[in-house]
């Protein structure tokens, strides 16, 4: 129940005394007293009904009642008659009535059904129970025809005060020095006696503390000290406790749920738009703002949230996008730049592509080298060219290894193809679409060049421009979109302006007719957008904000914007160019990471395989050398234990010369040597046979230049290496 409260009080000192404290307390919780109704003690029932009807025409539905018992009984009886004790209303009674609620008649309690009240807390005790029993028996004896009456707090306080006075008088003793006075010339009482021990008696009473029927009796501050209160709820002809409250711990104990007027358990929101009340005063914002002060219930229009305005009104959530931007003329770019082909990709993407291009070629070349591919070139230039060709073309006749082909596949298909297609699309767009570039991109450039700028007359933008740094003589105000167009088309040098500074929603409306001539730059200043304004504490604020949030969170606001702002079909080929039109490295970061990871893993696997094979070959060579050195018959360099020997056979090479074939024990050819050289054939032979020379087309000097040929062998399997040298 946020918002406003209405206060109903008696036209007495008792009724007026609570007002300043109540106002301060309500303001402390964000509420306020919007209306105060003062009812005289002599007011009739018809006059109360008239006042209640007046309250019904107001928005507030929360009423605080502070008056004496008789007047409050009449008020609640009439409130039930006019229908103000129904669902949606909330009634709160102060402690003066709550503590006397036991003295009210059942009909009044029934009329108060749903009201809340606050009582001083009375702790239970055996003395209180005994006193209550004696009271009830005495009341039945004295008033046999009346309903039973409960002892209220004030009666218990009176009982305890009598005990305190008696004890204090007993302590200070009797006073024999009494004097006869006629105070204030009063004639209603005859001669009164006053004691000279009066100050002593007062001091003794204030210092006397004891446990009484009402609890701890303490008059140290000359008033009862109460720290715990009961919150009661009137239900039917009775009342129940719903909680205990202390100033220190607030709600100490919650006992029962609240039953509001109309037997409702739903918490009233505290206000309603009255059906029979006054009409809602709506102000439409045109140019001024102060005209809304205290004259309207709501202000609508192009109202922007500003810091200084928040002191006077409350704002709803914004219903439009925010910001202040510039409208400037455009200059057409036909994209005839010589280096237009480089613009589709940013510098970072160009650099990353080149680096990965070279890196991929290097990885493939290394993998082929480790795999024994001899077609990698003899000179540095040949190797460099082949390495670059690996990255551009998938050379099936040159690339032999599986790992090399995997690296090339990822590079060519996943990265190169995607970047190439993106590059082609971006370049085609740049060459075919007409681009519009703003003549001015920075508001500080206008200040530096002392250009004229314009704004909508009556808007706060004029003051904003001065805050930014514009000279007041360089700021011009205009009234309509036609004036904006004329001033912008003329320019600063011809009496117009170089830029129009306006709020973004209005700029979009302006560009619906002039999107080919002007363009928006910015926003240059952030705002919260357009809102509705309400008086401080208005109960309508929350519901209107929820309704706005419901609209802006769906498609409704999008459809409204499409209806009133620029048509995308009209200006679909026109757009402002900027550096962000180039494809950036971040757009392809994932592909670069994937390609780099595949290359790195392939290189690692290739190196591992190469090192393992090399280590195994060295171990085999060491084993063969050790066996050959231990043979006493063969001597150094001659293989034993089933080693195959080589026999040199002569073959006719024909006109083309002769060739060499070196076969292992199965007769399989291992290497072809160039045409014109001698042919050496390795065949199984006896273990002591030695290679012999057979005349061929080449001389022995040429043969001596050939490298030694090694054959696999194993000491454990009786197949050892046979080294055949060409002499």
pLDDT, block means (10 residues), the chain with 727 residues: 71 81 78 83 89 86 90 92 90 88 87 91 86 87 79 85 87 61 54 71 84 83 76 89 77 78 86 67 64 68 81 86 86 63 79 79 76 58 55 53 76 72 78 70 88 89 88 91 91 90 87 85 81 82 86 81 64 46 76 83 84 79 56 42 38 38 39 39 41 39 40 39 33
Residues 686 and 640 in one domain: yes
> Going by C-beta distance under 8 Å and a sequence separation of 6 or more, which residues neighbour residue 406?
598, 602
Do 481 and 500 contact (CB within 8 A), yes or no?
no
Do 295 and 283 contact (CB within 8 A), yes or no?
yes
DSSP-based three-state secondary structure for 598: helix
Neighbours of 456 (CB within 10 A): 22
In a domain, 265, yes or no: no
Distance CA 500, CA 520 (A): 9
What CATH number did the domain enclosing 204 receive? Answer: 3.40.50.2300
Distance CA 539, CA 727 (A): 113
Range of the domain at 248: 4-121+227-254
Buried b (16+ CB within 10 A) or exposed e, 11-24: eeeebeebeeebbe
Distance CA 226, CA 240 (A): 20
Residues 101 and 235 in one domain: yes
Angle at 178 between CA 173 and CA 183, to 5 degrees: 130
Residues 474 and 494 in one domain: yes
Residues 11 and 94 in one domain: yes
Residue 304 bridge partners (DSSP)? 530
Residue 239 bridge partners (DSSP)? 234
Residue 260 CB-half CA count within 13 A: 18
In a domain, 710, yes or no: yes
Residues 647 and 616 in one domain: no
Could you check whether the bond before residue 523 is cis, i.e. omega within 30 degrees of 0? yes
Dihedral angle of Cα 4, 10, 14, 16, to the nearest 10 degrees: 50
Residues 246 and 108 in one domain: yes
- Which is nearest to 493 in space by CA: 547, 527, 452? 452
In a domain, 363, yes or no: yes
Two structure tokens written together for 93: 């009674």
Residue 96 CB-half CA count within 13 A: 16
pLDDT of residue 715: 40
Residue 625 CB-half CA count within 13 A: 6
Residues 137 and 54 in one domain: no
Residues 241 and 92 in one domain: yes
DSSP-based three-state secondary structure for 297: coil
Residues 624 and 655 in one domain: no
- Which is nearest to 77 in space by CA: 28, 24, 115? 115
In a domain, 298, yes or no: no
Two structure tokens written together for 540: 């309508």
- Which is nearest to 437 in space by CA: 342, 310, 577, 298? 577
The residue whose two tokens read 């009456």 is 149
Distance CA 628, CA 641 (A): 9
Residues 440 and 563 in one domain: yes
pLDDT of residue 634: 42
pLDDT of residue 719: 39
In a domain, 404, yes or no: yes
Which of 563, 581, 599 is the C-terminal boundary of a domain? 581
Beta strands at 499-503 and 90-93: parallel, antiparallel or unpaired: unpaired
- Indicate if the alpha-carbon torsion angle 350, 351, 356, 361 is positive or negative: positive
In a domain, 407, yes or no: yes
Give the number of domains in the chain: 5
Residues 69 and 8 in one domain: yes
Q: Where are the beta strands (DSSP E) in 439-506?
A: 453-456, 475-478, 499-503
Two structure tokens written together for 113: 């059904």
* Distances from the Cα of 688 to the Cα of 78, 354, 634, 639, 647, angstroms: 139, 61, 8, 9, 11
pLDDT of residue 574: 43
Distance CA 175, CA 195 (A): 7
In a domain, 726, yes or no: yes
Buried b (16+ CB within 10 A) or exposed e, 305-339: beeebeeebbbbbbbbbbbbbbbbbbeeeebeeee
Do 37 and 64 contact (CB within 8 A), yes or no?
no
> Going by C-beta distance under 8 Å and a sequence separation of 6 or more, which residues neighbour residue 61?
88, 89, 90, 268, 269, 270, 271, 272
Per residue, the 3-state secondary structure of 126-195, as one string, reads HHHHHHHHHHHHHHHHHCCCCCCCCCCHHHHHHHHHHHHHHHHHHHHCCCCCCEEECHHHCCCCCCEEEC
In a domain, 281, yes or no: no
Which of 571, 602, 630 is the C-terminal boundary of a domain? 630
Distance CA 579, CA 570 (A): 24
Residues 546 and 590 in one domain: no
Distance CA 402, CA 598 (A): 13
> What's the distance, CA 280 to chain centroid?
36
pTM for the predicted model, two decimal places: 0.48
Distance CA 285, CA 426 (A): 46
Distance CA 536, CA 299 (A): 12
> Going by C-beta distance under 8 Å and a sequence separation of 6 or more, which residues neighbour residue 627?
639, 640, 641, 715, 720
Neighbours of 453 (CB within 10 A): 25
């Amino acid at each position: 129940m946020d918002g406003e409260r209405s206060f109903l009080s008696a036209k007495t000192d008792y009724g007026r005394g609570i007002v300043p404290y109540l106002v301060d307390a309500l303001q402390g919780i964000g509420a306020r007293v919007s209306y105060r109704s003062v009812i005289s003690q002599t007011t009739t029932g018809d006059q109360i009904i008239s006042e209640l009807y007046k309250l019904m025409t107001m928005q507030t539905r929360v009423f605080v009642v502070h008056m004496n018992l008789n007047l409050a009984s009449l008020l609640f009886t009439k409130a039930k008659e006019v229908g103000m004790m129904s669902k949606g209303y909330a009634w709160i009674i102060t402690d003066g009535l709550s503590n006397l609620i036991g003295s009210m008649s059942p009909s009044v309690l029934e009329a108060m059904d749903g009201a809340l009240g606050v009582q001083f807390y009375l702790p239970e005790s055996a003395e209180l129970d005994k006193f209550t029993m004696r009271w009830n028996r005495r009341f039945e004896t004295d008033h046999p025809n009346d309903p039973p009456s409960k002892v209220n707090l004030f009666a218990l306080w009176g009982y305890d005060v009598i005990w305190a006075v008696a004890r204090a008088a007993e302590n200070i003793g009797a006073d024999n020095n009494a004097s006869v006075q006629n105070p204030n010339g009063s004639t209603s009482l005859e001669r009164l006696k006053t004691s000279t021990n009066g100050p002593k008696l007062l001091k003794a009473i204030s210092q006397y503390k004891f446990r009484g029927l009402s609890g701890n009796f303490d008059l140290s501050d000359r008033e009862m000290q109460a720290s715990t209160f009961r919150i009661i709820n009137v239900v039917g002809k009775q009342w129940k406790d719903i909680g205990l409250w202390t100033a220190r711990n607030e709600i100490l104990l919650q006992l029962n749920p609240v039953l509001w007027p109309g037997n409702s358990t739903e918490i009233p929101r505290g206000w309603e738009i009255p059906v029979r009340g006054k009409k809602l005063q709506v102000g439409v914002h045109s140019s001024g703002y102060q005209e809304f002060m205290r004259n309207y219930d709501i202000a609508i229009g192009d109202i922007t949230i500003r810091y200084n305005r928040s002191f006077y009104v409350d704002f709803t959530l914004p219903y439009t996008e925010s910001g202040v931007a510039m409208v400037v003329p455009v200059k057409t770019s036909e994209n005839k730049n010589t280096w237009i082909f480089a613009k589709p990709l940013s510098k970072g993407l160009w650099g990353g592509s080149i680096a990965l291009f070279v890196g991929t070629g290097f990885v493939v070349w290394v993998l082929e080298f480790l795999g024994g591919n001899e077609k990698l070139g003899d000179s540095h230039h040949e190797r460099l060219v082949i390495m670059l060709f690996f990255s551009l073309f998938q050379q099936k006749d040159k690339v032999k290894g599986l790992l090399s082909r995997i690296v090339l596949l990822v590079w060519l298909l996943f990265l190169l193809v995607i970047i190439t297609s993106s590059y082609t699309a971006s370049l085609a767009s740049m060459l075919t679409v007409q681009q519009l570039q703003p003549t001015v991109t920075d508001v500080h450039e206008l200040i530096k060049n002392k250009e004229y700028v314009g704004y909508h007359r009556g808007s706060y933008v004029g003051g904003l421009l001065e805050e930014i740094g514009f000279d007041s003589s360089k700021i011009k105000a205009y009234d309509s979109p036609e004036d904006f167009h004329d001033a912008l088309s003329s320019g600063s040098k011809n009496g117009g302006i170089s830029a129009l500074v306006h709020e973004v929603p209005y700029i979009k409306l302006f560009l619906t007719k002039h999107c080919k001539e002007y363009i928006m730059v910015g926003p240059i200043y952030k705002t919260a957008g357009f809102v509705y304004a309400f008086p401080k504490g208005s109960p309508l604020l929350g519901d209107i904000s929820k309704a706005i949030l419901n609209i802006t969170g769906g498609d409704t606001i999008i459809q409204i914007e499409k209806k009133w702002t620029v048509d995308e079909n009209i200006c679909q080929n026109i757009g402002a160019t900027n550096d962000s039109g180039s494809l950036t490295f971040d757009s392809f970061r994932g592909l670069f990471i994937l390609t780099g990871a595949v290359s790195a893993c392939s290189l690692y696997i290739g190196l591992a395989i190469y090192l393992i094979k090399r280590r195994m070959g060295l171990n085999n060579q060491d084993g063969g050398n050790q066996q050959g050195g231990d043979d006493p018959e063969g001597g150094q360099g001659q293989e034993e234990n089933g080693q195959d020997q080589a026999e040199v056979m002569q073959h006719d090479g024909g006109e083309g010369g002769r060739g060499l074939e070196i076969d292992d024990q199965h007769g399989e050819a291992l290497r072809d040597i160039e045409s014109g050289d001698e042919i050496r054939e390795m065949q199984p032979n006896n273990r002591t046979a030695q290679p012999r020379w057979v005349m061929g087309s080449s001389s022995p000097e040429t043969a001596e230049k050939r490298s030694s040929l090694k054959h696999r062998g194993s000491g454990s399997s009786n197949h050892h290496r046979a080294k055949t040298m060409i002499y």
